[in-house]
Every structure is written in C-alpha cells, then in structure tokens.
Chains A and B, each alone.
Chain A
Amino acid sequence: NAGVTQTPKFQVLKTGQSMTLQCAQDMNHEYMSWYRQDPGMGLRLIHYSVGAGITDQGEVPNGYNVSRSTTEDFPLRLLSAAPSQTSVYFCASSYSGQGMQFFGPGTRLTVL
C-alpha cells in the first residue's frame, strides 16, 4: 500500500494563479481532509469529506475548493492564489473521521 500520496511536493505560484493539489489514498478510507500548517503553528482544517460526493468546510475554507468524486481522490483547488496561502498543505485520511488519521508527505506551496 502506498498510503496517502500528494503531488506536487513543492510548488511556486504567482499571485492570481490557480492550481490543484492532488491527494490520493489506497486504504479505502471514507474520511479525507485537507489541512494547512503555517510556521510554528498547528494544523488548520480547510475542507473535509466523509465519503464520495460529500464535502464540508473546515476552519479556514476561504479561497479553496474541493470535490470528492471517488473514494480514492480528494483534490484541493486554489482558485486565485494569494501570498497568505503560502503554507505547507497536508492531506489525511481515516476510516471514520475519528481517531487515527494517516497523513500524506505534504505540499510546500509558495505564492509570490
């Protein structure tokens, strides 16, 4: 099992550009989520999904969109990148949304 995979590992964008961060898991987990982590801080939940076709907002959803068309994939779209979105983005999955979550390696995003 590959676990949770994320692409790309690193990305530099210019203000106003859009892009999609990819996340996939091969553990047949129903629950998937996206977090951002800023230096010296804990993770903050952006969006989450409790199953295919179901998504909901987390703590910091503005500027981001998600969709969940399959159990395996949960892409995160930045609509119009801003310097405030410079961060490390982690995708995670779990069986139920409670307890243990498995994290991908992260995407380090810089917006100039």
Chain B
Amino acid sequence: GQSLEQPSEVTAVEGAIVQINCTYQTSGFYGLSWYQQHDGGAPTFLSYNALDGLEETGRFSSFLSRSDSYGYLLLQELQMKDSASYFCAVDSNYQLIWGAGTKLIIKP
C-alpha cells in the first residue's frame, strides 16, 4: 500500500523554529512536496524536493532523504500567520499521494 506519516499536531512559540517530519511508503516516487493550508482555505505550494538535500525558500526549508524515505519541513522565525495545517505529498507518476496533515499551533 501507499502511506505517508506525519505528526497530527505540533505546538511552537512565536519566533522559534519548528520541524515537521514526513515518512513515506509509496509504489513510485518522483518527489516530495509540502503544502500549507489555512482553515477554510485551499492548499498553497511551499516546496518540492526531487533530489536528496536541503531546499531553502526564505523562512522555510525542506529536506529529503530518498534512501530513508524521509523528509521534513523546517519553519524558522515563526509568525502567528504560520498557524495552519502542513501537508507532505509524494509525487507518484502523475498522482499526488497526501499525508493527513500536521496542525501547527503557534503560541505568543
């Protein structure tokens, strides 16, 4: 079967750094994506890793290890507006397979 595992909820303090992990087991793999979704909104793209290593985009970074079937999203200098759900998703031959999402709660 195909599955992605990520924590259901993470709590952090404003200004801090938080890491959201994702492990996956899929029949095909082209890359790992991360999306942000605010309550009532649509998913918005954050990052994509096709190769091993770290990708940095402003305050957000994403890491992939294909050999470990593992990736993470790192959010730095947390702001209250980062309170949202974060999803990892595997590109598997034109199909995106999604994790159940991690709800990020930020406290002032």
Interface residues of A (CB under 8 A from B): 31, 33, 40-45, 48, 50, 56, 58-59, 90, 97-106
Contacts and interface: CB of A to CB of B under 8 A. Distances in A.
Top 7 closest pairs, chain A to chain B, by CB: A42-B98, A103-B42, A97-B94, A99-B48, A100-B45, A43-B98, A42-B100
A106 B39 CA distance: 12
A88 B97 CA distance: 17
A102 B45 contact: yes
Interface in B41-97: 41-45, 48, 50, 87, 89, 91, 94-97
Given A90-B43, A106-B42, A42 B101 contact: yes
Contact of A31 (B41, B94, B100): B94
SS of A interface (majority): loop
A50 B94 contact: yes
Contact of A105 (B42, B50, B89, B94): B42
16 contacts: A42-B4, A42-B87, A42-B101, A43-B43, A43-B89, A44-B98, A45-B96, A90-B42, A97-B91, A98-B94, A99-B33, A99-B48, A101-B45, A102-B45, A103-B44, A104-B42
Contact of B99 (A42, A50, A98, A101): A42
B95 A59 contact: yes
Interface of B: 4, 30-31, 33, 41-45, 48, 50, 87, 89, 91, 94-101
Nearest to B40: A106
Nearest to B8: A40
A44 to B, nearest CB: 7
Contacts of B4: 42
B94 A43 contact: no
A100 B48 contact: yes
A88 B107 CA distance: 29
Q: Which of B31, B87, B95 has the most CB of A within 10 A?
A: B95
